[in-house]
């Protein structure tokens, strides 16, 4: 397990604001000043993709753009309460971001565009179930969702790659940049079901929490005034976790039993 935990050096310097709206040379300047890898980091910090770059007012840029986006994580690097939990995913509504943990250690974080004010994402504890590399949305058959991993089967809510406009704009799903969607697609566990679709064990626990201030300043832009403006303390995540730890442990135990039983069956049949 320890070999999978990345070494993360925390960024502790400042940020600056760059105006985009009304600046005809903003994109040209941005591309000229920063490498492709640095551009990706900056856009991720602003919850936006290149398609939507010219549609936003401003972006926030670190004074020093490091190569590892984990260095800019607003999430704690470790959560002791999750030491015995193999995998856990958080989606933080207030800062539009996700974090993935293995045994309480942060392994990846990234931006998200969650449910809009009209179509909010359901908060609370869920578990990953089925996944598909490409899935046509049940809300609109013109929406092709890539690297889709469902977390609410009946409601059709999950995470997937889709356009990132720099604010919560989805139809209740959890939008991601493609590299994050694909990584989570490969990393998280599907549920275990019988042929009749009876659920034997749930997948990876996912906790969606908090609320977004749709009328206020985008929270990441506040980094220009306070580099720690978006940080979520371990104690704050623990407050969200506490009511759910028993259920997480229960489902984890059930999954371990199902897997062990299946392995015994295979062994006896060989």
Contact (Cβ atoms closer than 8 angstroms) between residue 47 and residue 166: yes
Two tokens, residue 111:
């931006």
C-beta atoms surrounding 243 within 10 Å: 11
Marked catalytic residue, from 103, 105, 135, 160? 160
Name every residue whose Cβ is closer than 8 Å to that of residue 122 and which is 6 or more positions away in sequence: 152, 155, 157, 172, 208
Marked catalytic residue, from 152, 173, 198, 253? 173
- Distance set, CA 185 to CA 70, 133, 151, 182 (Å): 19, 8, 12, 5
Q: Is 40 a catalytic residue?
A: no
Q: Is 160 a catalytic residue?
A: yes
- Distance set, CA 159 to CA 130, 137, 178 (Å): 11, 12, 11
Beta pairing partners, 59? 18
The residue written with tokens 């295979």 in the block is 266
Name every residue whose Cβ is closer than 8 Å to that of residue 265 and which is 6 or more positions away in sequence: none
Contact (Cβ atoms closer than 8 angstroms) between residue 94 and residue 222: no
- What positions carry a catalytic annotation? 160, 173
């Amino acid at each position: 397990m320890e070999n999978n935990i990345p070494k993360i050096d925390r960024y502790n310097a400042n940020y600056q604001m760059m105006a985009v709206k009304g600046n005809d040379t903003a994109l040209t300047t941005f591309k000229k000043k920063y490498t492709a890898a640095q551009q990706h980091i900056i856009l991720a910090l602003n919850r936006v993709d290149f398609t939507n770059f010219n549609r936003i007012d401003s972006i926030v840029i670190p004074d020093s753009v490091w190569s590892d986006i984990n260095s800019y994580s607003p999430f704690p690097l470790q959560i002791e309460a999750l030491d015995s939990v193999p995998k856990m995913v958080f989606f933080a509504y207030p800062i539009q971001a996700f974090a993935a943990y293995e045994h309480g250690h942060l392994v990846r974080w990234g931006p998200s565009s969650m449910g809009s004010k009209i179509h909010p994402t359901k908060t609370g504890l869920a578990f990953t179930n089925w996944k598909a590399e490409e899935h046509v949305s049940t809300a609109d058959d013109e929406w092709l969702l890539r690297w889709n991993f469902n977390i609410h089967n009946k409601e059709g809510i999950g995470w997937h790659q889709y356009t990132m406009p720099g604010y919560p704009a989805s139809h209740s799903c959890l939008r991601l940049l493609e590299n994050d969607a694909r990584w989570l697609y490969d990393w998280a566990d599907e549920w275990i079901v019988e042929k009749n679709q009876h659920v034997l064990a749930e997948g990876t626990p996912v906790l969606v929490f908090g609320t977004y201030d749709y009328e206020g300043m985008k929270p990441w832009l506040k980094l220009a005034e306070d580099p720690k403006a978006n940080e979520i303390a371990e104690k704050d995540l623990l407050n969200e976790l506490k009511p759910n730890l028993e259920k997480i442990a229960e489902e984890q135990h059930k999954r371990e039993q199902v897997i062990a039983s299946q392995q015994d069956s295979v062994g006896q049949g060989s």
